[in-house]
Amino acid sequence: MSQNKSNTKKSNKPQDQNYFEKPKSAKFKASRARKPQGKTNKPMDMELESLTVDTVKPTASKKPKTQSYKEYAKNHSEDFGKKQNQQYRQSKAQKNNSYGKNQKKYNPKNRGSKQNNQPAEKPPVRISFLGGLNEIGKNMTLFECMDDMVLLDCGMAFPDGDMLGVDLVIPDFSYVIENKDKLRGIVITHAHEDHIGGLPYLLSNVNVPIYSTALTSGIIGNKLREHSLPKPAQLKEVKAGETVTLGSIEVEFIHVNHSIPDAVGVAFHTPGGTVVHTGDFKVDYTPTWGEPIDLSTFARLGSEGVLCLLADSTNASRPGNTPTERTVSESFDNLFKKAAKKRIIIATFASNVGRVQQIINCAQKYGRKVAFSGRSMINYMSVAKELGYLEMPEGILIDIDMLSRYTPEQVVLITTGSQGEPMSALSRMAYSDHRKVSVGEGDCIIISANPIPGNERTVGNVVDELLKKGCEVIYESMYEVHVSGHACKEELKIIQCLTKPKYFIPVHGEQKHLRAHRDIAVSMGVPKENVYIGDVGKCVELTDEQIKEVKDVPAGKVFVDGLGVGDVGSIVLRDRKHLGQDGLIIVVASLDVYDGHVISGPDIVSRGFVYVKESENLLDEIRKVSREALDECANGNIGEWSVIKNKIRDAVSSLISERTGRYPMILPILMEV
């Protein structure tokens, strides 16, 4: 470094004499050590350090013409490159040792700014999946960063055929309740039951603000009024485009199209990076309500940098694009013309406000009155009309009790039951169990919905019953009376292209949907190792370096049966299934309190096993072997109730399986006298 010729004075000495090789006095050396060379205000050691890392370059010389550029570069830079890399690594190690000592605490308001020259140390982002993966419904996801948690959606699911007697299924809230001190709020994307149905049960244990758009907030409030909550809910109304701060997490709401108005996607701006969740969405450029999806915001987020994208996978296996809602309007218009002399009954989702508006518009055009059937339908339409999301022409709405005052061609009945639910209005009409509406010839019934996976059989049964009664039944596969509210392959590609995420997690769907969405992301350039397919109860940790699974969180299904929440478990369902398949045998006997001998009985009660009047001989044999088992226990001085009951079960079960090949539930009831 002392050989910097720019800082030396010109000399008159001959050019072949090396001035710098002359011996120097001790006084000269001390003077050179005290005074920094060149015009600089930096200390000598700082200047040398910066030169070592940034400014030292190999001495330039002319490239021999006989050598190629690659050979020349290799010969002249190999030694210097090794030395330069070694110096750079040493300098970087020194900086890393002191990294973070002078870092400022993260402030969400400074997101995107370049106020700090040093990069802030980013904390990890954790995502816990409490529902909505490998299943349809029950959507619930927890986001966590720096001891702040935000819950996205809190839905429910309908019970399947094995959940006998269960009314609905909600997520396991235990992990959220354990960490309620960290929970800063609940964010709801839209007002479908698979996203809000579990809220009343969670809010009985946790009371935090709920952020949602106007229609969603109104429907949630209407739902919560039906439940006696210990504290009033904190409903916070937001608009698409707004941002709220929940602890260290900024939540930005993005307008999307769906089968219900006021649906939003969400961007979580955290100290660890931005995580985008689309919610349920599709790309509709001509929606029946509101504006098209806000693709510009997704593009902006992509340009700023998206750490992870979570996107709706429901239609990931469907090619092309989801049709616009306006195609349904054209189909309704044609069907209204075709059914000019018939009563029209249309079954659709109660939450599909846009679809109901289309039906009302057609009814007005053809001079028909409109009536609603189904409690949820009436509740949704009341909220939508109150908030201005449903335009109801004056005098078009009538009460269902007034249907008999009009001829069939003068009315349209909009009802629930598009999924064949046993207690829904359409199902009760099909099985002649509706108190106010009887269907038959002269009725045109339109099912304006797709069966949710798992409901195909129940919908098919309802359609069969309606056809048996002489009704004309029209459903989605016959005419375009329904379009999905979920994005197909090409729309999912648009979101991938705009957001350009580093990591991708497909959500909302069964395994086949999640894997199909993974393939789409990989085809769009996301590395396969950066795509994560999770399951309920899994938790992932995201950093700039990796996405990895961490310890599982408590999660699962909680059954709601009547007023009971969680008191019906797998054992109860197993017993119900056993009873439903094989029936019940009850053995009742009174025993002497002193010696255990039979005083009266045993009496045999059969339910769902055999018809008693035709099986008296079999019941006598059951009574006989039960008496023998009781006498054996008494003679052997066996007084333990559990042992006595097991002996009765074994004896009766062996007899019944030998005689009938069946395995009913056997329930001994013993009393001491």
Are 169 and 156 a contacting pair, CB within 8 Å?
yes
Residues 6+ apart with CB under 8 A from 409: 340, 341, 342, 343, 368
Six-digit token pair at 587?
Answer: 């053995």
Closest CA to 398 of 380, 373, 431: 373
Are 649 and 664 a contacting pair, CB within 8 Å?
no
CA distance 415 to 348: 7
Q: Classify residue 33 by burial, with Cβ atoms within 10 Å: 0-12, 13-18, 19+.
A: exposed
Residues 6+ apart with CB under 8 A from 413: 343, 344, 345, 346, 370, 371, 372, 373, 400, 403, 437
- Identify the active-site residue in 312, 443, 482, 513: 312
Q: Which amino acid does the sequence have at 215?
A: L
Closest CA to 401 of 430, 367, 373, 382: 373
Q: Give CA separation, 178 vs 31, 172, 552, 554, in Å.
A: 70, 12, 14, 10
Could you write out the DSSP letters of every residue in 405-426?
GS-GGGEEEEES-TT--TTSHH
Sign of the CA dihedral running 249, 252, 256, 261? positive
- Identify the active-site residue in 192, 258, 482, 486: 486
Q: Checking DSSP bridges between strand 503-507 and strand 308-312, what pairing results, if any?
A: parallel
Are 272 and 249 a contacting pair, CB within 8 Å?
no
Closest CA to 153 of 134, 128, 178: 128
Tell me which DSSP letter residue 198 carries: T
Q: Checking DSSP bridges between strand 584-591 and strand 598-607, what pairing results, if any?
A: antiparallel
Closest CA to 523 of 487, 488, 486, 493: 493
Tell me which DSSP letter residue 106 carries: P
CA torsion 344→348→354→360, rounded to 10°?
A: 20
Q: Please tell me the chain's helix, strand, coil percentages from 3-state DSSP, rounded to the nearest 5.
A: 35, 20, 45
Strand partners, 142: 128, 151
Q: Each residue of 218-253: b (16+ CB within 10 Å) or e?
A: bbbeebbeeeeeeeebebeebebeeebebbbbbbbb
Six-digit token pair at 544?
Answer: 């700039």
Helix (H), strand (E) at residue 152:
strand 148-152
Start-to-end CA distance of the chain, whole Å, equals 109
Q: Which amino acid does the sequence have at 187?
A: V
Told to judge if 486 belongs to the known catalytic residues of this protein, a careful annotator would answer: yes
Other beta carbons within 10 Å of 321: 17
Are 297 and 503 a contacting pair, CB within 8 Å?
no
Which residues have a catalytic role annotated?
312, 486
